[in-house]
Amino acid sequence: MNRASTTDRICLALPTNRACSAALSEIAEEAAYAARTFAVEVHLLILDSCDATTRAEHARVVAELPITPKVTVHHFDEAGQRVFLRRAIERSGLAAPERMLDLMLPGDLSYGACTNRAFLIASALGCRSVHRRDSDCTYQVHDGERVFPIHHELASLGRSAAEASAAVTETVLAAAHAHRPVSMVGSSFIGEPSVDIAEIERLDAGVYHDVVSLWGPMDWPEERKRQLVDDSFKGAGTTPFTGDHSTLTLVDPMRVDMSNIGFHHEVYERVPLPPATDTIGSDYFLIHLVHDAALPGVLHNRNIENFYTPFRRTDAGFRAYQMRFVKFLLSMLYFNFVYDRMGSAGPALLDEREHVRGDVISGLLRESADLDTGENIWRLDRVSTAYRKLGGRYTEFADLMDARRGQLLDEARQDAQDFALLIDGWPALVAAVRETGLGSADALGSADGLGSADGLGSAEG
């Protein structure tokens, strides 16, 4: 597919594994706003891995959406997406095709993998950017109008920083970076914390500090750990939107959230996200890469409003989410190593055309996989001790976690190796889907306008 003829196409993506009819209606409004305000062709991508009954309800909602010019909706289920991925992997000629399929469409929940699928579908459609939202978020309302983040994303993404400076409130960017394109535009959230551990803070602030600080390097000084805890998972607090403010800068990864972000294709078509399963934070890697490679971004204040779904309040939801949090803590042994090296590498993360270099990242990941697991054993010890102080279901979870210690340690290392493998195969996958496009509408499903659509897709959100 010739991208030069389709540079006005964008992909607005909503991954979900839960009932979210209201979110579907709201994101359709954002798609219509984007098409109307910026004269772009919007591909609204709903990646749906819900049960059949919920998917059918979603399909009904999509079918009843008003027709909007220059908006195409794609509502994809897992069966169709597997067809798309198998064809792309076969076309790519990559070795171990079943292994690659498992990394792209694992049997368990994966925040990174569902977004990678959105990236590939966007590339197949010839889109120049992907704009991601989540189904457990809603838009703020100001003066009777929804506050859509895509307003800032489309005002700057892909333009040179020098050109984009006219569309922002302020510029805090070295002149040496002014010729580079804006690669990421994002904001954060208000409302519930992004990680469901607020109960721990209510029960025991000391335990909360001990647990949250574990995602930083073990050798950080206490003051730096305290600052990390203060900054973690709480987004932009609770202050509602009152007016626009945007900054052209190297965006601090702690100030943006993956429910409120847009990436230029030159980033996500070169490096994917980690495909780790049952691990929160596995979809945040590109935010760090854009920052460390000194690629310009825009930080704005059109924050999404985050809320918790009822499942998280159940015993099963509690156990599942706490395990995802522990796996996140263990992943940081490897990612802290990679982030430290990326920060030191600076310009070495870019090739001669100033595009991010996947081979450098995969090399760092393979190096990290050789790290001693002593730091992660220490993390598991600290979590177990902390949770047992809280008692009740936290003690029960600590028992469950301790019984899986060896497995969890092995999975964390394997996740780093799997990410390196996916990065190395990613250029061939992207090339394959750009050549073949999305494929047969009969096989995969799509519809012109915000009307009915069915077919392909899957996601976890």
Q: Residue 76 maps to which CATH number?
A: 3.90.550.10
Residue 455 lies in a domain: no
Residue 45 lies in a domain: yes
Q: Give the whole-angstrom CA distance, residue 349 versus residue 342.
A: 7
φ, ψ of residue 438 to 5 degrees: the values are: -75, -30
Q: Give the whole-angstrom CA distance, residue 452 versus residue 448.
A: 8
Q: Alpha helices of 72-177 — where are they, by DSSP H?
A: 78-92, 97-104, 111-125, 150-156, 161-164
Buried/exposed 130-143: b ≥16 CB within 10 Å, e otherwise: bbbbbbbbbbbeee
H or E segment and range at residue 447: strand 447-448
- Residue pair 183/172 in contact by the 8 Å Cβ criterion: no
Residue 458 lies in a domain: no
- pLDDT for res 377: 98
Residue 460 lies in a domain: no
- pLDDT for res 458: 31
Residue 175 lies in a domain: yes
User: In the beta sheet, which residues pair with residue 186?
Assistant: 261, 299
399-408 own/partner pairs: CB under 8 Å, 24+ apart: 400/319, 400/323, 401/322, 401/323, 401/326, 405/377, 405/380, 408/326, 408/327, 408/330, 408/380
- Residue pair 235/189 in contact by the 8 Å Cβ criterion: yes
Selection from 297, 299, 293 nearest residue 343 by Cα:
293
Residue 354 lies in a domain: yes
- pTM of the full predicted structure? 0.94
Q: Classify residue 434 by its DSSP letter.
A: H
Q: Where in the sequence is the domain holding 131, given as residue range(s)?
A: 3-448
Q: Give the whole-angstrom CA distance, residue 41 versus residue 45.
A: 13
β 246-249/71-76 pair status: unpaired
Residue 456 lies in a domain: no
Per residue in 343-384, pLDDT tens?
999 889 999 999 999 999 999 999 999 999 999 999 999 999
Residue 75 lies in a domain: yes
φ, ψ of residue 146 to 5 degrees: the values are: -70, 145
**In the chain, how many domains are there?**
1
Q: What is the pLDDT along the chain (461 residues), one digit of tens a residue?
A: 434 344 599 999 999 999 999 999 999 999 999 999 998 999 999 999 999 999 999 999 999 999 999 999 999 998 888 999 999 999 999 999 999 999 999 999 999 999 999 999 999 999 999 999 999 899 999 999 999 999 999 999 999 999 999 999 999 999 999 999 999 999 999 987 767 788 899 999 999 999 999 999 988 999 999 999 998 888 888 889 999 999 999 999 999 999 999 999 999 999 999 999 999 999 999 999 999 999 999 999 999 998 766 666 788 889 999 999 999 999 999 999 999 999 999 889 999 999 999 999 999 999 999 999 999 999 999 999 999 999 999 999 999 999 999 999 999 999 999 999 999 999 999 999 999 998 754 445 444 333 334 333 333 33
